[in-house]
Structure 1
Amino acid sequence: MFKHILLPTDGSADSEAAIVSCIRFAQATGAAITGLHVMPVMHLFTYEPGVTEAVHAQVRQENERHAKRYLEHMEQMASAAGVKCTTLLLMSDYPFEAIIDAARNASCDLVAMASHGRKGVKAMLLGSETHKVLTHSAIPVLVFPHGSGTATAAEFTS
Structure 2
Amino acid sequence: MPFKHILLPLDGSSIAEEAIAHAVMLARNSGAKIHLLHVQMSDEQSIDPVDWRLRRVELRSYLNRLAERISEKEIAVTQSVVEGRPAEQIVEYCDEMDIDLIVFTAYGKGGVSRFDFGSTAQKLFSGSGRSFIIVRPGLRPPNQENMSYRRILVSMDGSSHSEWVACQAASMMRGQEMEMILLQVIAVPEMPRRMPITREEHATREKFVECNRRAGEAYLEEIARQLENGIKVRPLLLVAQNVAETIYTTAADEGVNLIAMSAHDWQTGEQQVTGTICHTVMSHSDLPVLVFQNLQESQLQALRAGTDASQIRHPTLPVRNEAHR
The answer to whether TM tops 0.5 is yes
Compared with structure 1, are the counterparts of its residues 47 and 30 closer, same or farther at alpha carbon in structure 2 (3 Å cutoff)?
A: closer
Larger Rg: 2
> If each structure's helix is expressed as a fraction of its own residues, which one has the higher value?
1
Question: Equivalents in 2 of 1:119, 1:94: separation in Å?
Answer: 19
Alpha carbons of structure 1 residues 43 and 96: separation in structure 2 relative to 1, 3 Å: closer
1:11 pairs, out of 154, 158, 163, with 158
2:289 corresponds in structure 1 to 141
Partner of 1:108: 256
CA–CA distance in 2 between the matches of 1:111 and 1:48?
36
Instruction: Work out whether 1:130 is the aligned partner of 2:258.
Output: no
Counterpart code for 1:107: G
TM-superposed CA distance for 1:86, in Å, is: 1.4
Equivalent residue, structure 2, for 1:98: 246
CA distance in 2, matches of 1:47, 1:130: 31
Q: How many residues align?
A: 148
What RMSD, in angstroms, separates the aligned Cα atoms of the two structures? 2.8
What is residue 74 of structure 1 aligned with on the other side? Answer: 223
Q: What residue number does 2:200 align with?
A: 51
In structure 2, runs of 5+ residues without a counterpart are 1-147, 297-317
Equivalent-residue separation in structure 2 for 1:107 and 1:47 (angstroms): 38
For 2:207 and 2:175, the matched residues in 1 are separated by 41
State the distance in 2 between where 1:103 and 1:48 align: 32
Gaps of 5+ in 1: 153-158
Take 2:255 and 2:212, find their aligned partners in 1: how far apart are those partners? 27
Letter in 2 for 1:55: T
Question: Is 1:61 matched up with 2:210?
Answer: yes
**Distance across 2 between alignment mates of 1:30 and 1:97:** 28
What is the CA deviation profile of residues 28-59 of structure 1, one whole-angstrom value per residue up to 9, with x for unaligned ones?
A: 54321111011112334789824213312220
Question: Equivalent residue of 2:174, what SS?
Answer: helix
C-alpha change, 1:143 and 1:47, in structure 2 (3 Å) is closer
Query: For structure 1, which segment, 16-25 or 43-52, has the greater mean C-alpha deviation from structure 2 after superposition?
Result: 43-52
Larger RCO of the pair (alpha carbons < 8 Å, separation 6+): 1
State TM-score, norm by structure 1. Answer: 0.79
Equivalent residue for 1:30?
A: 177
